[in-house]
Homo-oligomer: A and B are copies of this chain.
Amino acid sequence: MGEPKQERAVKTREVILHAAAEIFDECGYSGASISKIMARANVTQGGMYFHFKSKKGLAQAVLAHQQEFVHFPGGTAGLQRLIDLNFFLAHELKNNVLFRASVRLAVEQGEFGMRDDTAYQEWVEQFHAHLCVAREQGELLPEVSEREFANVLVGAYSGTQIFSNVSSGREDLPDRLAALWRYLLPGIATPQARARLRMPANARGLAA
């Protein structure tokens, strides 16, 4: 008896989170409301309050699950994987409303009184892991600090997607990312690694 009830609760929670992401994505934090989200999710007040007590709680849940919302397929390793991940995230920002809303809430979190860098730090960890593989593969210059560069890249990436969003609704994000990487690579990668690295075909820039 317990099983199906629990499954239903998990499913309801997912439906609510998805509806919340859609509303936050469309209206921002201050324009969103519990009642709008309930209507979009088609859940009762009881169903909503079993999972979430407030709009802020909903925003925190959408913000907190940023990494779970993206599923990056396996393939390459090291620097090429880090580059591929960067372009994959650009694609997800256009097509994945849960991820896009989560990023928007992370950027605009001051609007609901938060100052939490967890979402940023999780990307630092993930970028750092790929840089450690790059180091093992001999792709990084000796003077590069994997942790420092992971921090630099998270900051640079965040601002690049924000600028691209206000400029073009993120249409030009692949081109902006290709340019960012083109200027960063000479400072981090060996000439041999740079000669092998490729930017995705939908970006106009080139790695080398």
Contact = CB atoms under 8 A, between A and B. Distances in A.
Interface stretch (A74-82, A87-95, A101-109): A101-109
A106 to B, nearest CB: 8
A12 interface: no
B120 A110 contact: no
Interface residues of A, number: 46
Dominant secondary structure at the A interface: helix
Interface string A151-188: 11011111111111111010000001001101111111
A65 interface: no
Nearest to A106: B166
A30 B161 CA distance: 23
Interface stretch (A1-9, A34-42, A43-51, A111-119): A111-119
A148 interface: yes
Interface of A: 28-31, 104, 107-111, 113, 115-117, 120-121, 144, 148-149, 151-152, 154-167, 169, 176, 179-180, 182-188
